[in-house]
Amino acid sequence: MKVLVINAGSSSVKYHLYQMPQAEVLARGVVERIGEETSKLSHFFQSKTHTAQTKVEDVEKAMELILKTLASRDVGVIQGISEIGAVGHRVVHGGEEFTGSVIIDEKVIASVKKFADLAPLHNPPNLAGIQAVQRKLPGTKQVACFDTAFHATIPKIAYMYGLPYELYEKYGVRRYGFHGISHRYVARRAAAIMGRGKYDINAVTCHLGNGCSITAVKQGRSVDTSMGFTPLEGVPMGTRCGDLDPAILFYLADKGYDVKSLKILCNKKSGLLGISGVSNDVRNLEELAKKGNTRAKLAIDIFCYRIKKYIGAYCAVLDKVDAVVFTGGIGENAVFLRQQICTSLTQIGVQLNRAANQAAIAPVPAQPQVQAKEAEINTKDSRVKVFVIPTNEQAAIANDTYELTREKQAIMSKQNHKHTAPLSKPANKRAY
């Protein structure tokens, strides 16, 4: 089965076409700068690169371009779009309704719309991608894979805030967590590397990119995570502030800041950018720090310190820790940052192998078709394993999509063979 994986955002649509169950990537790419005068398509296939510039007004037009490219005579990898057997979508927010990936029906679409209030920048374009596929590939099964679903196992003591309980009942104010597809993938890869079952590992997984989150994984399930009601909570990020005293916002409101300006301040002007005053890119900050820029160094030091605090806290939550995992753009690439974090974790049993850490370097940007390598970067006598595991959310989505649609087809085939009544409507929840 050929499975198309879609990650639709407000200004870009990323795609991967897989041959399943082999998990072979036939093609991948991205349509960027959607809605601007000139949009860009980058298409990677058979060790080749194809780029094109054209105007793409919205997600629907981006999907048209993607499907046309995949079936193109010159740069395509399929004879026609009818070869696509199923489509999997990354959907950011599933609220409390979804504990895993699900086949998309009208009820699921209604829920994605409903939770747009909780993820206004993400769920609407995610939904636009789903609806575009409905129109372009009618009858093709689609699967929604929720970023929040892996965190559905977090207990109430971890997801409730110290606010009036009726705010949870009335508005759903609670910790949801994000990056769940990534945390699930790397936790299970760590278990596999260690020769364990997916539910036989306790780990602290660190997804570090422009957005960052840390998750406590107990017996393969999320039991706490740093992002909360929104992706703003947790460690300082590229431009997000992370944890802070909420009274700071009241204080700034008294100084004349309105709600809109506070949102921009916390989401777009804070974190590494706000502290350093120059950049949200760790690579730039490292170079500037080496040249004596004290605020760049301060931004890095704060970032590492907060990550260490979360790792330490989650070690207390887990009691026993088998592994610490680094993933995401920063986690996979920032050698110096991993070293700075891990050298202060000896008290929890982490012993870093500096040579192995130095060797665990992702490919250069000029080779985007090359996947970063997995690496174990602890010493032999380290009580806790330390891994660098490149996240592969699209592979996880492709696998879920394949398994769910194959399962559905098998049930339907069995029913038709037995000449029984039509299958009743499937439940829209599936546990991992």
pLDDT band at 45 (very low <50, low <70, confident <90, very high): very high
Strand 221-225 and strand 141-146: the pairing is: unpaired
Return the pLDDT at 11.
Answer: 92
Q: How many CB atoms lie within 10 A of CB 334?
A: 23
**% residues pLDDT > 70 (the chain):** 92
Q: Which of 60-74, 276-290, 411-425 has the lowest mean pLDDT?
A: 411-425
Q: All domains of the chain, ordered by start, with CATH? A: 2-146 (3.30.420.40), 197-391 (3.30.420.40)
Return the pLDDT at 333.
Answer: 92
In this predicted structure, the answer to whether residue 54 has a pLDDT above a threshold of 90 is: yes
Return the pLDDT at 348.
Answer: 95
Return the pLDDT at 361.
Answer: 80
Asked if 362 contacts 332 with a C-beta cutoff of 8 angstroms, the reply is yes
Return the pLDDT at 128.
Answer: 96
In this predicted structure, the answer to whether residue 432 has a pLDDT above a threshold of 80 is: no
Written as six digits, the tokens of 347 are: 């008290």
| Cis ω for the linkage preceding 164 (within 30 of 0) | no
In this predicted structure, the answer to whether residue 112 has a pLDDT above a threshold of 50 is: yes
> How many Å apart are CA 314 and CA 347, to the nearest integer?
14
Q: Which of 233-237, 312-316, 327-331, 406-410 has the lowest mean pLDDT?
A: 406-410
Q: Average the pLDDT over 126-132 and give the result.
A: 96
For 214-228, the pLDDT digits (tens) are 999 999 999 999 999
Q: Which of 162-166, 205-209, 230-234, 423-427 has the lowest mean pLDDT?
A: 423-427
Q: How many CB atoms lie within 10 A of CB 57?
A: 11
Return the pLDDT at 407.
Answer: 74
Average pLDDT along the chain = 92
pTM of structure? 0.90
Which run of H or E residues covers position 139?
Answer: none
pLDDT band at 121 (very low <50, low <70, confident <90, very high): confident
Asked if 310 contacts 214 with a C-beta cutoff of 8 angstroms, the reply is yes
In this predicted structure, the answer to whether residue 419 has a pLDDT above a threshold of 60 is: no
Q: Average the pLDDT over 178-194 and give the result.
A: 97
In this predicted structure, the answer to whether residue 139 has a pLDDT above a threshold of 70 is: yes
Return the pLDDT at 411.
Answer: 59
Residue 120 backbone dihedrals phi, psi, to 5 degrees: -65, -25
Return the pLDDT at 431.
Answer: 39
> How many Å apart are CA 196 and CA 327, to the nearest integer?
20
The residues carrying an active-site annotation are 147
Strand 39-45 and strand 24-32: the pairing is: antiparallel
For 312-362, the pLDDT digits (tens) are 999 999 999 999 999 999 999 999 999 999 999 999 999 999 999 999 986
